Structure 1
């Protein structure tokens, strides 16, 4: 391939291509005087400071992990307590018809009173329904959610139904406010106040409290003394009641037909009828237990022995960290009942933890690279010059995130690590050649020769990587985001390589020229730069 693609005629002596004609005068100007070197270093420092400022500002969105969009939508509908499964099915038919009439919806599935959640089983309620929808194009999923959520609010009331784009990884758009205390009524009041406050925020949706709604229940309180008088124990009585109320498999219909189970109608379970349940010879349930009607929640959450109520919401927007901070300030302004404490979390906690871990990983990576460079170059100053190229990569990476409105998250930080590896290798190519050239010529000429010689390999490395990741960066290979490689990762790598390549070819030689004159780097060349002749009889 190389033989067929090689040029038929070599370039004439002294003739240069366009990249060298642009680069060599620029590098010559940057190295021409101390003033131009100062201008280059100050400009690079200011751009790096600007990039850091953009990261700290709300102009660059921040999130945890962006998995992109998907065709699958998930949701829930909660009807008033006591609603039977038949009534829930009948009421959900209206939404099912409305969803199927949407031109962007391909499939609608409504599940009522089922304990099967796919990968696990759990309890169910007859007044709850689960929604599963498939859209025709995942780029239209967000618009479909907005339309159908409005329809759900009209049909079942605001806060009683939620619909969102399905997420198949760690939650990356969740806000949570947690209220704790000992008074049940105070916690319920606090939950209502927090929900009402968050519902005023247009950047939040799917706002719900995990404080279970009070439902009518039959409570069976077994008297151990009475049960013992009939040769029973509370545990045996509980098992007998559970068997009476649980479904009993009867086998298959017609031998090879579908399985049939016998289940007691929940509507027929009353205090009088349940009390007549035989539990032993001559003993009914009412003889050994007290049966009462109560209204109580299905579940109670505690943390360190303290009652806990969590109000969660879905964040609508790329800047999940900024939206979470504004939501935190909003709920902190709510006047809570006495004895109730409030704290917030959710995705903002995940972002802080992941950023701290990634910053630690980046710091360790830089330290390892520095140690390796010190071993190979047998110098501390030369590796420092090479590592100068690392922060230069952040300038283009952050600028690319700002221009493309992408979020700074875990994938983007992984992209920073990738860029660091590439720019360090480019800087090593440049500095290593300059070190060798300084053995025979002055520093200025050695840097010009190193830049001209290593220009093409450095450009080829950058261009090849940019072209390979460009389809992902513009969203072509993932139809608008998501996929195995995140779009923000590709954006950071592309932007970081574009700017770092330019800065590596200019700023790194300038920094090297400043440090080489002051340090012990290339002692032989430094002596020649000063036109100092070595003493006779001694090797230099």
Structure 2
């Protein structure tokens, strides 16, 4: 699933990055050699005066940063405590539940589906009459553009069995454009409409689901299975009552429900044999009585009409009429059903479901007002405290299963990316320690990434995790600029502390330029409100937040870690020299 969703996106990012590298090595130096002319700006106009003022402010900022970096190198424990505190605050914010989890945002397309469910004894005529009243009421709402009604027909949602029911109606409602509605959220209108309809038509069960660009089934799907059907049904009903109480869970249903009321005719074979009846003969007559016989046709003026023949003045829903139903045996004698069979009223199951050859039941629920992953987490938390009965197996399906699989796969990709970045830098630096120092920039980037998601009220989705993977490659370049230039200065004989301060000041300008360029480039995606913009909003906010926190923290943390590593190497080198010196003196003395 992850590969199908992100393959094209990843190919575009990799190709554009490699193309940018090629341009940076070829076209950019050539153009700079041809048109790059050093020019001393004079304050002759407003634009030049602005550039000179900006340059002065940038120099002041870089000098201020140099003083701050020198303080950090002298107060490493205090700065480490600040970073640890920021991590703790980030974890605390995550625990508040502001960031939800979902596979892919449905997106607010201004369209939703609303299902009405009447009592099972409701006829199609009564269903249609009330549905017309509800439809008229919906169309009277100023926010509604169109309504498509499906009375008694099969549901149009994915996962529908394709079988209609006389007691069910479905509306597909399209709202007006966001501009006309002053950016009214579709879910807010859905909640308001349902509350109004509950007051006006209280005897109806209402369920709603937003419709996005990608058709989807109920995002929450749990299948319970076991060897004992009664125990499976009991566990399913108990879990349903729990899920219904979770905020955000909507239209909680079980796949196996109590069916419509029916009459069971249970024959007595001994009585049937004495009366000259057989099971096949009785079954044929009962079928004709209840459903009629349509073998006959009538042709008139070239048009063929089907003809259905059944009993007159017979109430199929009346218990006494069913018992008094007469069947003529082969000898021509009329015999009532009550003479050879018992008639019982019962409710048949609406569906028989099996999983791995065991009785099963599937619980489905929509998420309204909260991300589906967050609702599922509450179900998991409840089941950890209150496990299912022994002998009952539970499996997740639909969006939650894909979400768990996708998040697990992307978690592995994160680790592989982390390792590959480290190995590439090891090959470039020919050193195992300094690449490790550069990787600290990735850790502090997560602080800003999750903080930005919180502030933007975005959810942790598939695209947000993709943003974290992209962020790893973006933020590590800040550390590479500092570490690489520090190594060059040390190779020229400069002491590592002075080299770190000079490298930080010299590389602050390109770090600022590249970070701010990327941040401003991602802002249109982060602030977009168009079709399917919700998919990419999280990705953009993760990158923006991660880049800004990396800009603020990496320029201090990476030099500090570099300083600590070189300081330990220096101390270790001195201790090694001290251990070797007595041994050399002893050898000279002996000789």
TM-score (norm 2): 0.68
- SS of 2:257's equivalent in the other structure is coil
Structure-1 residue corresponding to 2:464: 412
**How much is the aligned-residue C-alpha RMSD, in angstroms?**
5.2
Cα deviation digits, residues 65-107 of structure 1 (max 9, x gap): 3232221111222223343433322221111011101111111
1:332 deviation in Å?
8.7
Structure-1 residue corresponding to 2:233: 187
Residue 174, structure 1, aligned to residue 227, structure 2: no
Structure-2 residue corresponding to 1:514: 564
Structure-1 residue corresponding to 2:545: 495
1:500 deviation in Å?
0.5
Residue 86, structure 1, aligned to residue 131, structure 2: no
Structure-2 residue corresponding to 1:390: 442
Query: Which structure has the highest helix share of the two?
Result: 2
Q: Unaligned 5+ residue runs, structure 1? A: 223-232, 277-285, 524-540
- SS of 2:75's equivalent in the other structure is helix
1:24 deviation in Å?
3.3
1:407 deviation in Å?
2.1
- In structure 2, distance between residues paired with 1:260 and 1:29: 93
- The alpha-carbon distance between structure 1 residues 509 and 335, as it changes in their structure 2 partners (threshold 3 A), is closer
Within-5 A mapping of 1:467-506: 467-474=520-527, 476-478=528-530, 482-483=532-533, 485-506=535-556
- In structure 2, distance between residues paired with 1:75 and 1:360: 39
Contact 2:441 2:554 in 1 (8 A): yes
- In structure 2, distance between residues paired with 1:344 and 1:8: 68
Contact 1:174 1:314 in 2 (8 A): yes
Cα deviation digits, residues 97-126 of structure 1 (max 9, x gap): 111011111111111243584889822222
- The alpha-carbon distance between structure 1 residues 351 and 459, as it changes in their structure 2 partners (threshold 3 A), is same
- In structure 2, distance between residues paired with 1:118 and 1:268: 38
Structure-2 residue corresponding to 1:10: 40
- In structure 1, distance between residues paired with 2:364 and 2:209: 13
- The alpha-carbon distance between structure 1 residues 406 and 45, as it changes in their structure 2 partners (threshold 3 A), is same
Greater Cα shift, 95-104 or 129-138: 129-138
Structure-1 residue corresponding to 2:516: 463
Structure-2 residue corresponding to 1:227: none
Structure-1 residue corresponding to 2:188: 143
- In structure 1, distance between residues paired with 2:55 and 2:493: 22
- In structure 1, distance between residues paired with 2:56 and 2:36: 15
Contact 1:65 1:172 in 2 (8 A): no
Structure-1 residue corresponding to 2:9: none
Cα deviation digits, residues 231-275 of structure 1 (max 9, x gap): xx99xx9xx99xx99999x9xx999x9x99989999999799x99
1:423 deviation in Å?
0.7
TM-score (norm 1): 0.73
Structure-2 residue corresponding to 1:123: 163
- The alpha-carbon distance between structure 1 residues 67 and 247, as it changes in their structure 2 partners (threshold 3 A), is farther
1:371 to 398, 403, 423: 423
- In structure 2, distance between residues paired with 1:181 and 1:159: 35
- SS of 2:150's equivalent in the other structure is strand
- In structure 1, distance between residues paired with 2:469 and 2:221: 29
Contact 1:318 1:407 in 2 (8 A): no
- In structure 2, distance between residues paired with 1:459 and 1:45: 24
- The alpha-carbon distance between structure 1 residues 264 and 26, as it changes in their structure 2 partners (threshold 3 A), is farther
Structure-2 residue corresponding to 1:433: 485
Residue 160, structure 1, aligned to residue 234, structure 2: no
Within-5 A mapping of 1:247-326: 295-318=347-370, 320-326=372-378
Structure-2 residue corresponding to 1:536: none
Q: Unaligned 5+ residue runs, structure 2? A: 1-27, 43-51, 268-279, 317-321, 328-336, 574-591
- The alpha-carbon distance between structure 1 residues 108 and 23, as it changes in their structure 2 partners (threshold 3 A), is same
Contact 1:179 1:187 in 2 (8 A): no
- In structure 2, distance between residues paired with 1:263 and 1:428: 84
Contact 1:175 1:324 in 2 (8 A): no
- In structure 2, distance between residues paired with 1:516 and 1:315: 54
1:348 deviation in Å?
5.9
Cα deviation digits, residues 434-458 of structure 1 (max 9, x gap): 2222211412343333333332222
1:396 deviation in Å?
0.7
Structure with the greater alpha carbon radius of gyration? 2
Equivalent residues, number = 498
Cα deviation digits, residues 7-36 of structure 1 (max 9, x gap): 9843699x9642332133323442367532
1:299 deviation in Å?
0.9
Contact 1:470 1:490 in 2 (8 A): yes
- In structure 1, distance between residues paired with 2:310 and 2:176: 41
Cα deviation digits, residues 481-509 of structure 1 (max 9, x gap): x4374212211111111110222222212
- SS of 1:25's equivalent in the other structure is helix
